[in-house]
Amino acid sequence: MDKHFPINFFRSIFSVEKIFSIRSKINWVQLVLVFVFIQSLLLIPLSLGISQRGVELADDILPQEFSVSEPVASKINQLNFLEGRLVTDETTILTESATFFIGINVSDGRSDNKMGMNFEQDFVDLTIEGTEGFHGIRLIYTDTFIEDLREEPVYEALQTAIYQQNAASIFLSRVVNIGMILLSMNGMLIIGVSVLFYLTKRTSAIKTFKESLTLALALMSGGVLLATLIGFLTTDIFILFGVQSLWLVVMTILLFVKTRFKQVRSQAEVEESLH
């Protein structure tokens, strides 16, 4: 099997008899490579779906507190910019509450303990409260950002600027998060099924935990391919996980019905099926 890996592995994933026959022919390194590959495969449509969301990716970054009132929005719309710079060096507080403020050239530490928006000459600093405390986002005055501040609602202008100026990092963080979710969900599923297979070792042909892992991974691989295709139609991760889980259940039942977890083929037949 080593000689023809991974071709013969993926040729086997639609036949439960072939899957059962190769259970001892895959080593640990190959198991890891297959697991990483099928996880990466499912990330392709999910990544495409994430990239198509555009500005929506910034929804979870900017709190609703930045949806300012109409009088304050009007003051922001009237800020004067020249060649990408704010034309004022005065310190002004446009609005302030116990948890939020908007100001111009404010440098008295307000952003240390409350959310806010501070317009300075070359950029605007946003202070946002997260799970680990306050953190800042700095937005440069681009031509598009300045135009949006004048013509669009302030929240939408900020949201668009956050996405445009941080698109790569936002996209990467979302892909990493989705990848970690897939890794944990699929990892628990495969290990759980492997343990069930391993518990039959006294009455079946399955003798090692590696054989159990190989079976579980091979049985699920076809479902991952199907989920990948469906992923181009919907990017709901729970639907895709459900598809591959259902595939795994059906293939496991077929494996039991056709083999009873016992080796029913001769070694010559196995070798012939792999060539």
Neighbours of 201 (CB within 10 A): 15
Tokens of 137: 């986002």
Nearest-CA neighbor of 145 among 161, 127, 134, 129? 161
> Prior bond to 45 cis, omega within 30?
no
Q: For residue range 30-81, what is the model confidence (pLDDT) as tens digits?
A: 999 999 998 888 899 988 888 888 788 887 788 888 888 888 888 888 888 8
Nearest-CA neighbor of 162 among 138, 127, 129, 134? 138
Backbone angles phi, psi at 26, to 5 degrees: -110, 130
pLDDT at 266 over 50: no
For Cα atoms 62, 76, 59, give the angle at the middle one, nearest 5 degrees: 15
pTM recorded for the entire structure: 0.72
Burial class (CB in 10 A: 0-12, 13-18, 19+), 95: middle
pLDDT of residue 2: 57
pLDDT at 243 over 70: yes
Helix axes 28-52, 237-259, angle to 10 degrees: 150
| Cβ partners under 8 Å of residue 109, min gap 6 | none
| Cβ partners under 8 Å of residue 30, min gap 6 | 2, 5, 6, 9
Nearest-CA neighbor of 128 among 138, 119, 120? 138
The pLDDT confidence band at residue 267, using thresholds 50, 70 and 90, is very low
pLDDT at 230 over 90: yes
The continuous run of DSSP H or E covering 93 comes out as strand 92-96
Q: For residue range 185-225, what is the model confidence (pLDDT) as tens digits?
A: 899 999 999 999 999 888 888 889 999 999 999 999 999 99
pLDDT of residue 268: 46
